[in-house]
A and B are shown apart, each in its own frame.
Chain A
Amino acid sequence: MGAQVKKSILRQISLYMVVMIVLIALGALMLYVVEDRIRSNYERELILIDQKTDLAIDIQQTMSGAVTELRGLMAFRQEEFVGKIKVREQAVNDDIDAFAKLELDAEGREYLQRLRVSRDRYFLDMVPVGIELGLQGDTAEMVRLSREENWTEFVDQFRVENIAYIDVLDRHADDAHEELTRDLKRASVSFTVYLVLVALIVGVLAIRLAKDIGLPLQELARVAKQHDADLLLRLPYDRRADEIGNLTVSLKTMWQQIRRNEREMIEQNEELQAQQEELISQQDELTETVAKMRQHEQVLEAQNRLNASLINTSSRDDLLKSIIQNLVTIQGVDKGAVVLLEAGYPHAAVGLTEAQTVAFFTNLDEGVLARLREERDTLVIERDAAGAEKGYHDLPIRLSDLFVPIFSQEEDVIALLVMTRLGRAFSKEDRAQARALANQVALAIEKWRAYEVSERERVVNQEILDSIREGVHLFDEQGELRQVNHTWKTWMADESTPAAADRRTKECVYRELRERALQADELIAFIEGAMLGERADGETRIYRLSGAEEKVMQVYFERIFDQNGVLRGTVFVHRDMTREYEVDQMKSEFVSTVSHELRTPLSSVLGFTELMLHKELKPERQRKYLETIHKEAERLTQLINDFLDIQRMEAGRQSYDFAKVDLVPLAKELIETMAFHAPQHRLELDAVTDPAPVRGDEAKLRQVLLNLIGNAMKYSPNGGEVRVMIREAGDELAVSVTDQGLGIPKESLGHLFTKFYRVDNSDRRKIGGTGLGLAICKEIVKAHDGRIEVESQLGEGSVFTLYFPRNQAVRGNEVRLSDGNGQEMPRLMIVEDDDSLALLLQEELQESGFAAEHVREGESALQRITEQLPDAIVLDIRLADTLSGWDVLERLKADERTASIPIFISSALEERERGMSLGANDYLIKPYQPAKLSNLILQTLLRKEKTGVIMVPTAKEGGEADERPQGEA
């Protein structure tokens, strides 16, 4: 146990603590026991004293009582007192017995003794005498006895003694209390002393602990802090079994270890130092090597630079300059030059003036060059330095010139290198290196030449591409944008990069398309598909490009393959087809409108005819149907006429007979005629200006006025006034037609003069018409250099006003043969002996928009034709004079002035073969439809592209177009 404790400081301290606690607890327990015993002693004694006191007092009272009763007996001589005295006697005896049983001290025992004596005297001696005397009533005896025998004195004495004893008991009680106090005091003092003792023991233990543990620890810490090995080794604690012993042993071991390590380190350090010295010497060697290497490196660098420039330089002069500069470095020469053996001798030099270089290659020694060509190797010429080459040297200096020929792949010498060294000759290795470098240079020059050629071609190609009006771009097989032309970039509004430097991906193009194209996703899908070969060749796509003007575009593609059939890229061509698209759109719209307009009257005509054919109808029904058919047929005719009119006018094919026309009588005549048809309208003419001459075609002007007045009446179904006013308006003559009719909604005003436009409401639908009248008016007025305007208030009426230029020189009868654009109408020559046939043809052709002249004889025909050079000739075979049509044909074809004029033979002879073989364009056998002829001519001329205008045959009634008021309207 002791050994166990000694091994652990913790256990030691714990043991001390336990001992201390046990001692303190023991002390406390003892104190408690002692105190308890003191207190119980005291209490027991107190009880005893109380009992004695009680008994003493009781005896005292009982005795007093007995005395009193004896006196009573004396006095009253009654027997009953005897009993009472006997009871008293008994009580005294009991008390005395009880007292005797108590623990008695000396005083007690003495008191008991006296008590017994007193009792015996009283009850054995005095009481029997007393009772006897009492019963006899002998009081005197009694008094004598009391006096003589001292009875009274005895009684008093007894009482005094008794009281004295009670006092003694009282004093005993006080004594007991005092003793208690004293004992308690003593006990507490003893405990205090004990505590002091315990504290002393604890103190001793603490000191011992400090000495046993604290001091050695302090010492260890101090020694460890001082790192003093000797002190540490001298510490005596290692024998100890506890932690301090262990700590000391460990520290000592550690210290020894450290010392050992330290020694080893020192050894190693010495070794390292030796190695370092060796290294330093090695480094010195290395530095030298590096210096050498750096020289090599420079050469290599120059070689690399050369290589890089051979590959990358895009300018020829840069290339040459770079070649010679780097060669000079690589070869370690003092000067050198390179020259291309081609026109202009492009060259570069180092260490030579321009004049020297030029001198070198202009005076190029043919001998040297010849030798080079012959030997196909480098050539070294050693010579003495001459002139400026010697510089400040007096002594002769040897120079080495190294000539290196540069061969093309065809083994021609294409360039020459010359390098010169002062003093040092060229070694074998130098020459070999030079040869190798020359090969590189040769490749570079050839490559450069190829590049130059391809670059020239590329520029030409790009220019061609840029001049194309279609947008073109080329994606290579990787989807990279390889080429794009100017048109495309303009459309994409992309001026960012020059065409040649473009190297962008398809994503850039797609981004642009997404910004500009309306169906971009579809288009991109198409482009992707085309590149992946998913689209059939020739497939195209139509899309729209947004911008200031929306464009309709068509894109097609062409996949490009190399000789081996490997896909190299895809070209996309975008075509601006906005015009075509619009024309197409207009055409189809027009066709659909025309077909609708034609279909309605056709439906009626066909329908009613069918009813009449297949049904039994009453005569009045038949008549009604016939009238309807007639009306609808008229409407159809009107429609076709109007339609052909407008076509002819728009195509500029309408001919006008301009003359001086006075509008006043014209208007007057029209109003008079119209008034007849329209009883519910009031027609008024207000000629502010009279006369009102204009230069115009009377028939056409009549058509315009008729149309306007007719409209005015039609669109005022409830009657009212229609006023025609003619007045001057500045430089113009104005003719206005005012009605009080329905008026025209504002939104419709702008469309009024559009073909087939009808103001869209059901009221108007009931009013017949083709929807072409106003468009025709507009065209006619335009041909008269005038204009037409309209004002209207819905529900109140409309005013249409024509403006014609005034003060214009009005020439007499003239036939206008050109359209509004001043373009000549195609002129025809009809060579025909039959006048009536000629007239028929002439009319037909004129109505088809040709100007036709008629000649009867062959000779005059030839003369007129060479004079006039018409656009086409209609030739009969049988003519009025000796010449036949064949002769005319042959002569015309022989004359180069007339050889190219198309000739149409019109004959009853069936000799088509002959005619065609002689060079006629077509051969018509009489009789034929005149329209067939005009059609043929028209087609031929169109093919010849004599005119770009589409000519449409005109209708016979062209001059009289109007919208006749209809009965129901």
Chain B
Amino acid sequence: MKTIIFKSASVYLLPLLLLFSVFILLRGHYLPGGGFVGGLMASIAFVIHSFANGVENTKNIVKFHPGFLMPVGLALALLAGSLPLFTGETFMTGLWMDQPVPVIGTVGTALFFDTGVYLVVIGVTLTIIFTISEGL
């Protein structure tokens, strides 16, 4: 799509949507949101950018193959799940820091698990969309 308005808007939308997706990710522990929704939003940010500027340009922004995010995210989620095993507790038990971190709040293994989901969703969605648009 070659409209100037859309093209220039997409430049500003990309970082805004990415920021918003991180907000949704962090918000998700007690309120609606979380890794899955956040990941979808982050990939929508890239999809909008690719609509306006073409897939090639979006790929240049991402730099690496988005499929690589899948094992990274899975590894992060697996690590978050199995950390309690090392302290003798059961799989998937939430371990929490004593002191809250400013802005984010109390950090626990649940956050890492959700971040893992976030990365996997971005990886899967972008791989699918990039592969499909290559065939067009």
A binds B: no
B interface residue numbers (CB < 8 A to A) = none
